[in-house]
Every structure is written in C-alpha cells, then in structure tokens.
A and B are shown apart, each in its own frame.
Chain A
C-alpha cells in the first residue's frame, strides 16, 4: 500500500487519451503500461501494436515485457509479422496513435535519445532512436509521456533523433513530413499540447494540486499557457489497481489514493 506514484499518475493520465476502437503503436515501458490500462479500463477494443512485429497483444499481468521483441510482448497477440512490416503499416497510415517516452524533449516536441553534448564530442552517448524516429514520423497522432524536469524539458534538444515540429510553424511539413501530428505531452505535473500556429508546447491542464508556476519552474523554456487551464481529475482507485496488477501481477493490492507529494520530495534547486 502506498501513495500514487508519479509513474502511476502519468500512466493513468496518458491512458485516458486513448479512445476505444483505435490502434496504438506503443513503445515499451510507460507507453505500453498506459495503453494496457486503457484496454482494461475504458477502451477494451484498443489494439496495441509493438515494434517487434506484434499486433493486438494482451499482456500477462505481472509479466510485462522489457523489450518489444521478446515473448512476453506477444502474449495473446492476434498477429506476428516482422519488424520492417510493422513500420510499413505505420507508413501506410494504419496507426491512430504513436506513443513514446523521451529522455529529452524541446519546446517543439523534438526528442533526443541519441547524445548528451555533441555527436563529435559526446558527453553521454545514448542508445539511439530504436523505432522512435519512425513512430513520430509516421503515426497519425503522437503522444509523448515523460517526467517533468528542467533537464528533460529543454529549449533546444542537443540532437533531433525524432522530429517533432522541428523549428515550429510549417517546418515539419517543409522537411517532407507531410503526415502526423503531435497530440499531447503527458507528465507528472501537467497535460500539454502544441499551439496550432507556432507549434510551441503549451500548458493545457494541471495534475491535481499542481500550480502553473510549479510547471514553469520545472520547464527549461518559456512555456505557452492556454487561456483555459483545467485541472485533471485524479486517478480512480480502479485505475490504480489495474495499473498495479498489470505491473506486479494479480493481488497487487488496493491503492492508498493520496497523490504523490512531488514538491515535498524535490530539494530546492
């Protein structure tokens, strides 16, 4: 029994964005968990696709995959194809949502999972794109889920592994990315979208108990703020139980529903 964690808050918030009878191309980890929560909660006909070539996985509670290419990822799947093929479904426009995490994301939704520092003199060489570049380039609507910290929310990513709106305006389309749009960014503090003209990230809604100034303080760039800020409803006990059972297996227990005390835990910078 414990409080609602930041991960649980993000997964539940993100899961609510996924509509029933749609197809979601999910990365492993948080995006997959969120998609699984949606299937068990309000979207039983949501089809989860994974880059290992898996269509319609159901997942075994407590045995979530840590790679999209392993057996656990295909549990109960309707179809197995090869990797290239699954991405070609994305290129054809079959996937309603692409769902990604991000090590570093900037004000235009560009994602870096390649390098901290420069490519010539890397401070940290990260693993690389995997399928992220393809998912953000080819899926119809892209959702990003990540923890809200200044080091993650930067004005300009060190390297554009996966192109969001590039430099804003119509620059994404001019680069040849004619399809796909960035729908939302889900964090433990807020729900954000992209302002239609400038394509800059914009605060739309707050997690329970979080203020606009707290979000701004955790964002490394000048954040646009919508005229109509709402507060997100907290996770229900049902949603948290589903999340915990998926992650840890049946009988993971009922939640104590206190929200995460995010700012009590953060040392003043």
Chain B
C-alpha cells in the first residue's frame, strides 16, 4: 500500500499556483499530456455515471504504462486500461460492468492471474481516503472496515482516541497525481459546476496534484457567477479545462443524457467471449480515433433518445 507524504502534497500545491492562468482551455489530447507513466489517476463519477469518458479515451490513446487508477466504483473503463497494458494497480471498492452484465471477465482475467493488483477498500473508506487527501491530513478515523478481512488484507491500522480511549480505523489519505472530472459547465478559468450527484468528485479533485476538468458546456465567468451555489470546484483547484459535449457518453450525465445500455450489452458480450482481445479491439475501434468520431458513430438519433430519457427522470 502506498503511504503518501501529505506534507509533500501540500508543498507541491503551494508551489504550483493554479490561480494565475487566465485561460486553461485546451484539447483533451493536450490535457492528458499532464499524465505520465507510473502516475496515479483518479477517475471521477461513479460506475457509469458522469464518468469523464472523453478524457479517459484520450488517455487510453496515449498507451501510458504502470498507471494506478482509483475510482469509488469502477466500470468497464478499467477493463480497457487493463486490455491495453496500462495498469499496475486498481484502488476501488467495486469493479464490474454493472449488475445486469455479471462479473467483469477482463478484470477477472488480470486479477486472478496476479497481473494487476486490486486494493479493495470499502466505499466509505474510499471516500474518506480522498477526503483526508482533500483536507491535507494524513488519515481520518472511522468506525467502518473494523473486523473485516478487507482490513487485514490492506494492513489497515487503528488509532486510539486521545480523549475517550476508543479504537477506530485509521484510513490513510489518498493524493492522486491527476484527477479527471466531468462537469456540466465550466468557464475558461476552471470554475466548474455540476448538477445532481457529486459522487466523490470534490474531495477527489482537491486531493489530487493536477486536476483536468472536461465539461458539457464552456460558459462565461458571468454565467458561473450567476449561480455560484452550483460551483463544485473553484478555478484555483483546476489545471485544465476541456470542452467535451456528451463527454460522459456512453455513460450517463445527470439531467443531460442516460446511459447507452445497448452499447454496454455489446461490449459485455464481446468481453465475455474474447476477454482482453475484445477490450483491446474496443479501444482501437472506439478510443483510438477522436471522441467526436465516436459520438458520430453513435449517431444523433441515439444521443437524442438518451437525452429524452434524462428529461423524463430529472426535475425540470
């Protein structure tokens, strides 16, 4: 298990001011150049909700090596990183495709052969690890994970409360090298707004050393200021802003579009039949070209239908 020096993360944060850049807009290709071999990349959203897929695809295209990827609950993007040989380690509480598709075959292939490490934490522990990182403290005390084999497996330590003598689990801070976050709106300064679920994105981003935000819409600073209560991340916590309409497709984006479950069906069937070869082919066919051509292949009718689903499900 990687124990982070919180002070080091803080010193870096002080050195790397993000407040002085007036325009942080760049392409997804340029943004993922901030990610290097061996980095820990945290992916925002959860399972198939508000996953920054445009950024994920851009990163897949780079064929980086020896990455660690962390996510609260991971979906099939993990299998794509595995199939291209990008991953050394997964840090999560759950890895699958989604309940209807059963166990994730490519994930199983690599983990069962010991070819990738999977640090399995509880869901709350993942959240508290990012939160500790975001708070600038080395750990947080909690009453979860005690007594489980998860705790043993991870060599989770306990602390004794200096006031009451109670024993609690001490969940270590997680400070990812890079966080990838998909937002509904962002301005060129980096102020980012989200509708609906926040997942663990705020803590994940604030814990990270470098933050790349993709957004459905790039809006003016005035539009951000018109609804400041919606702002999830302030400009000085963000390094790069990428315009990415439909940037979570084929995953869902709250209020904008539902998940493309037919796309999942096709992926899951291929992965079950062919394993990692299907994952690699998926990347070559869908990610290695531009995200725009991936959306084009989905077609405007499909995207419109998914948008209609979202309209039915969320308050106006």
Contacts and interface: CB of A to CB of B under 8 A. Distances in A.
A83 B127 contact: yes
B122 interface: yes
A82 interface: yes
Interface string B102-146: 011001100110000010111111011011000000000011111
Contacts of B222: none
A175 interface: yes
B98 interface: yes
Nearest to B254: A71
A75 B203 CA distance: 25
A226 interface: no
B153 interface: yes
Interface range on chain A (Cβ under 8 Å from partner): 35 or more
B167 interface: yes
Given A29-B99, A127-B95, A71 B146 contact: no
Contacts of A128: 92-95, 118, 120
A36 to B, nearest CB: 16
B46 interface: yes
A136 B147 CA distance: 11
Contacts, number: 189
B100 A130 contact: no
B145 A133 contact: yes
A260 interface: no
A72 B122 contact: no
Contacts of A130: 73, 93-94, 123
Nearest to B118: A125
B172 interface: no
Q: Which of B148, B169, B199 has the most CB of A within 10 A?
A: B148
Interface in A55-103: 60, 63, 66-67, 69-72, 74-75, 80-84, 87-88, 90-91
A66 B73 CA distance: 13
Given A69-B73, A87-B124, A175-B147, A82 B199 contact: yes
Contact of A124 (B72, B112, B130, B167): B112
B120 A129 contact: yes
B149 interface: yes
A137 B99 contact: no
B149 A161 contact: yes
A208 interface: no
Contact of A137 (B93, B146, B167, B203): B146
A15 interface: no
Nearest to B253: A71
A74 B314 CA distance: 8
Contact of A83 (B107, B146, B158, B199): B199
Contacts of A119: 149, 153
A81 B198 contact: yes
Given A131-B123, A176-B169, A66 B100 contact: yes
Interface in B57-89: 72-73
Interface string B148-175: 1110010000100000001111000000
Nearest to A114: B120
A166 interface: yes
A253 to B, nearest CB: 23
B295 to A, nearest CB: 20
A71 B153 contact: no
Given A71-B252, A83-B123, A131-B124, A63 B313 contact: yes
Interface string A208-236: 00000000000000000000000000000
Nearest to B95: A127
Contacts of A123: 112
Contacts of B258: 70-71
A147 to B, nearest CB: 15
A262 B300 CA distance: 47
Given A71-B252, A163-B146, A134 B112 contact: no
A51 interface: yes
Interface in A227-269: none
A70 B252 contact: yes
A187 to B, nearest CB: 20
Given A69-B46, A80-B196, A134-B145, 11 more contacts: A60-B312, A69-B199, A70-B259, A71-B313, A82-B199, A137-B146, A161-B149, A161-B150, A163-B146, A172-B147, A179-B143
Interface of B: 45-49, 72-73, 92-96, 98-100, 103-104, 107-108, 111-112, 118, 120-125, 127-128, 130-131, 142-150, 153, 158, 166-169, 196-203, 252, 254-255, 258-259, 309-310, 312-314
8 contacts: A70-B252, A70-B258, A84-B200, A114-B150, A128-B94, A134-B145, A137-B144, A160-B149
